Structure 1
Amino acid sequence: MSLTALALLGYITWTILLLLAIAALRLALVLGGRRGANSFAADGADVSPFAQRLARAHANCYESFPILGGLLLVALATWQTRLTDPLALMMLAARVAQSFTHLLSGGVLASLIRFFFFAIQLGIALRWLFLFLTHWTAF
């Protein structure tokens, strides 16, 4: 398996793990009789600050997927993983680090650190886009 495919699977797995964490938190509240199953705000703000950060961390994953996942899929579909493999795991690490930072705190410093990890992902995406465009226009 290429590093590109591994990063794509890792990205999907991480997104699912965050979703499962949201589900587990809500299920515990429902089974504990503290909330109705249909009483949750989508953003988690009505549960706790952590639940809100968890919902946003999950949302950040699916908001970025069309770009990051899309570029990984383009590489796989066009047999050009040599362009994405070198930075694929770094992108995934930055994605997970951004989420962890989001889960740990909503403070100013944590926001700056989250932005740093987001900037790494954006930089990698722009690099990949540049490589694809220059590779395909060279022919």
Structure 2
Amino acid sequence: MTLTATATALLGLVAWALLLIVLLVNQRGLLVLSGKMAVNAFHPDGSNTPSNFGQRLVRTHANCLENLPLQAALLLYAMASAQTDITEPLALLLLGARLFQSLMHLISTSPLFVWLRFAAFFVQLAILAWWLLQFAGLAG
């Protein structure tokens, strides 16, 4: 069985969210095991970890989960309704934009990186809106 771009994007989005939570658990586990933090001392937003990276990692993971339902719903709809011809051309771009947005968030919160994150987020929104219009028969 050949994996389509639509299926690859769906699995990639899920795998990326899973990888981020594994990184988060690993980071927190290392802090606990090294004695730098108590197991019950973590703030839900990661704001009290020794570096800003912990907070950015928490927010990056949360952002992935916030957007995954919309992305997955349209990809699954395309697959279930045999309309992957709509999603195939842009599915991997959607995944790439998601990965890029996350990586920019993990690297820095400087204005340049925030603008880059926003651009990647906008690409994702534009793709989802385009697909929705096409599914509804309102475009192309």
**TM class, shorter-length:** over 0.9
Q: Which of 93, 96, 105 is the aligned partner of 2:99?
A: 96
Aligned-pair distance for 1:4? Answer: 0.4
Structure 2 CA distance for aligned equivalents of residues 89 and 73 of structure 1: 15
Aligned-pair distance for 1:37? Answer: 1.3
2:121 corresponds to 1:118 = yes
Equivalent residue number for residue 76 of structure 1: 79
Aligned-pair distance for 1:34? Answer: 1.2
Aligned-pair distance for 1:66? Answer: 1.3
**Secondary structure of 2:136's aligned partner:** helix
Give the structure with the larger helix fraction.
1
TM-score, normalised to structure 2, is 0.93
Equivalent residue number for residue 128 of structure 1: 131
Aligned-pair distance for 1:85? Answer: 0.7
TM-score, normalised to structure 1, is 0.94
Q: Structure 1, unaligned stretches of length 5 or more?
A: none
Large movers: runs of 4+ above 4 Å: none
Q: Aligned letter for 1:83?
A: I
Q: Aligned letter for 1:59?
A: A
Equivalent residue number for residue 67 of structure 2: 64
Structure 1 residues 78-117: Cα deviation after superposition (integer angstroms, max 9, x where no partner): 1111110110000000000000000000111111110000
Structure 2 CA distance for aligned equivalents of residues 21 and 11 of structure 1: 16
Q: Aligned letter for 2:95?
A: L
Structure 2 CA distance for aligned equivalents of residues 36 and 82 of structure 1: 51
Equivalent residue number for residue 39 of structure 2: 37
Structure 2 CA distance for aligned equivalents of residues 125 and 100 of structure 1: 20
Q: CA RMSD in A?
A: 1.0
Equivalent residue number for residue 86 of structure 1: 89
Structure 2 CA distance for aligned equivalents of residues 51 and 108 of structure 1: 19
Identity value in percent: 44
Equivalent residue number for residue 26 of structure 1: 28
Q: Aligned letter for 2:4?
A: S
Q: Aligned letter for 2:104?
A: T
Q: Aligned letter for 1:119?
A: F
Structure 2 CA distance for aligned equivalents of residues 16 and 52 of structure 1: 17
